[in-house]
Amino acid sequence: MSTLPYWHVDAFADRPFTGNQAAVMPLSGWLPDATLQRIAEENNFAETAFVVRDDGGASDWELRWFTPTSEVALCGHATLAAGHVLLGREKKDSVSFRTRKAGILEVRGIDQGYELALPITTVKEAEYPALLSALHVNAPLFESVSGAEQTTIVLLENEAAVRALNPDMRALGKIDRMVICTAPGEETDIVSRVFVPAWGVPEDSVTGSAHAALAPFWAERLGRDTISAFQASTRGGLLQCRMDGERVWLGGPCVTVVEGNFHLPE
């Protein structure tokens, strides 16, 4: 029996039981993919972030993310959680991560917690009747044309419409993409909910990668580069979004809920 260090972090949260849960697990080297997937399944969070020292020198760490069912190309909240753990351990101001499909990511410590840089996702208007039918809405829809993940934005009239959504998860689970439903917010600039049943996460709590698409989408419509956002899941989470060329910085705090060891059979 071997042991692996383990942290359970609530990201984009200033107290436990809010924000989005992630497991963070630094490794001495990469385990087989099947083992990483089994660990993520056991953790049963939206994401488990695995990090290994980057001996190539391109960044501080290599980073991969797994849902309970699959590896994903980009995850914001688990990257923020990994930054929280590693900056706390190493007493540094910033940390960089080399990823397999999303390039180099960076997390910085700031007065209000942390700030995460993600590559922006751009979208264009499209049609997807089956997706709108699964959401039970009739609304403008936008598909990603750049970015690490297949992403769809559905633009609703107001926050009440976002909160009232009750998707057909079985139908939505047949659509292999992240579905972001958004509208102008009542207390924040924007509000959203994010559904990813095809990737093992029916509704995500607070989704950093979704805001890599939402920030440029709303910056163009609002005519400014800084945006306050609220993801209206059951747990809920606030994000501060700042456009910076081809990147968006997402700001928010993190809270460590559990620190310990994961026992792995030999």
Catalytic residues: 47
- Contact 84/97 with Cβ under 8 angstroms? no
Select from 260, 261, 253 the least CA-distant residue to 10.
Answer: 253
d(CA 234, CA 45): 15
Q: What is the largest CA-CA distance in the chain?
A: 56
Indicate the residue type of 150.
Answer: Q
User: SS3 for 130?
Assistant: helix
Task: Write the DSSP string, 48-59.
Answer: EEEEEE-TTSSS
Other C-beta atoms closer than 10 Å to the C-beta of 63 total 26
Assess contact for 67 and 42: CB atoms under 8 A.
no
Q: Which two tokens stand for residue 204?
A: 């995500």
Non-local CB neighbours of 227 within 8 Å, separated by 6+ positions:
189, 190, 214, 215, 218, 219, 240, 241, 242
Whether the CB-CB separation of 242 and 251 falls below 8 Å is answered with: yes
